[in-house]
Amino acid sequence: MSILYHAYCRAYQKALKIGVNFLDWSEPELIKGPGSVKLLPAAIKAKGVTTVLVVTDKGLMNLHLLDGLFEALKAEGINYTVYDGVQPNPTINNIEQALNMYKAANCNGIVAFGGGSPMDCAKACGARVARPNKTVPQMRGQLKVLKKIPPLFAVPTTAGTGSETTIAAVVSNPETHEKNAINDPRLRPIVAVLDPELTVGLPKHITSTTGMDALTHAVEAYIGHSNTRNTRAAAEKATNLIFENLLEAYENGKNLEARGNMLIASYYAGIAFTRAYVGYVHSIAHNLGGMYGTPHGLANAVILPHMLEFYGKSAEKSLAKLADAAELNTNHLDRHQKALLFKAKVRELNRKMNIPEKFDFIKDEDVPLIAKRALKEGNPLYPVPKIMNLKECMEFIRSELM
């Protein structure tokens, strides 16, 4: 990589870090605790919203997880219509279908209910309401929405994406097998509900991969170059909660305390990365999702330990601090040893939750395109500890992930 390009990336990141200080970083109003989803309609009504589009998926509808919300909406006199066609890795077509339903029902608010996919769909639908003359691909990138979207209320049913407090929405384009990431503070929900009862029935593999997704958010935000005091504190808190609660939530899914703590961890990790950004784990994961439909949490979980090795000494100081934050057994260890311990514990978490070390579906002929698109997303935006070039990215995918 040329010295000039490296300098350009760092200059871009520094300018962005300064520029974002002028944006609105107001966090959502939080409603949390067992059964708290039933308190959401009162908050919706208090915001002056009378008719909402509920964005979810058919799996959650079939499980009747939304029944309590629907009853409470009726009790508050709030009209609702349901779009349940969201696919894993929501598509542009999903967004347009939701938008049409929003308009047809004369809605003036949106409820996102589910994992990252319904959240992304709801956010992008809100962006299309605010920007009717802009397509999803045209809003790809930074600050392309800018106008106020309808009031957005988020109810996560997984503890991983942190989307209930982030400014990002990721939408797949089936025609190009790309993911369009829309980043704008206008996409941030105004109310978030953290109800552990909604996560009790999660399958083990969803608990594990979404939990590692949250850890990836916290770690990538923490080791990057765009941290603030608040994002560092949020990442440390998230990391601590994940190491203390993820395995318990995985092994004993009915433990409401562990489930609740994981929701809080995911929320704090979301706070960390929505301002401090992520890194190459995400940019490669996004493109595996776009190319092969790989679940995002699984992709992050597999890639994270390999990428931490790639970063090497550039991330050592931060990883040592995270080892302390996670309250690992760091007594009498130096910085290098603490960083090694942290990386070992990440691999141990994956192993204990049956997450594979590599992927068996990546085609060698796809590697150049995956790497090119990953770096298009990552450079110059992501303030990673070590900047990767195309050759390194292709070699990393082939040697570490295949």
Q: What is the CATH number of the domain that holds 81?
A: 3.40.50.1970
Instruction: Express each pLDDT in 285-332 by its tens digit.
Output: 999 999 999 999 999 999 999 999 999 999 999 999 999 999 999 899
Q: What is the CATH number of the domain that holds 379?
A: 1.20.1090.10
* CA dist., res. 227 & res. 376, Å (int): 22
Does residue 180 register a pLDDT over 90?
A: no
Same-domain pairing of 186 and 229 = no
Does residue 29 register a pLDDT over 90?
A: yes
The total of structural domains in the chain comes to 2
Same-domain pairing of 184 and 220 = no
* CA dist., res. 291 & res. 286, Å (int): 9
* CA dist., res. 238 & res. 232, Å (int): 10
pLDDT number for residue 85: 97
Q: Give the domain-ending residue among 168, 199, 230.
A: 199
pLDDT number for residue 177: 86
pLDDT number for residue 1: 63
Does residue 48 register a pLDDT over 90?
A: yes
Q: What is the average pLDDT value for the chain, to the nearest integer? A: 96
Asked whether 215 and 346 are in contact (CB, 8 A), the reply is yes
Phi-psi group of 177: left, alpha or beta (phi > 0 → left; psi -120 to 50 → alpha; rest → beta): left
Same-domain pairing of 304 and 358 = yes
Q: Give the domain-ending residue among 199, 223, 248.
A: 199
Q: Among candidates 248, 258, 256, which has minimal Cα distance to 349?
A: 248
Average pLDDT over residues 39-49: 98
* CA dist., res. 279 & res. 311, Å (int): 11
Average pLDDT over residues 114-134: 97
Q: Could you give the percent of the chain with pLDDT greater than 90?
A: 96
pLDDT number for residue 97: 98
Same-domain pairing of 379 and 391 = yes
Q: Give the domain-ending residue among 151, 178, 199.
A: 199
pLDDT number for residue 166: 96
Q: How confident is the model at residue 41 (pLDDT cuts 50, 70, 90)?
A: very high
* CA dist., res. 224 & res. 279, Å (int): 8
* CA dist., res. 339 & res. 362, Å (int): 30
What token pair was written down for 256?
């409401």
| Alpha helix stretches (DSSP H) within 224-365 | 229-251, 256-276, 280-292, 296-311, 316-325, 335-352
Residues 6 or more apart whose Cβ sits within 8 Å of residue 72: 37, 38, 39, 40, 41, 42
Segments forming the whole domain that contains residue 302: 203-401
If one counts every other C-beta atom within 10 angstroms of the C-beta of residue 334, the result is 10
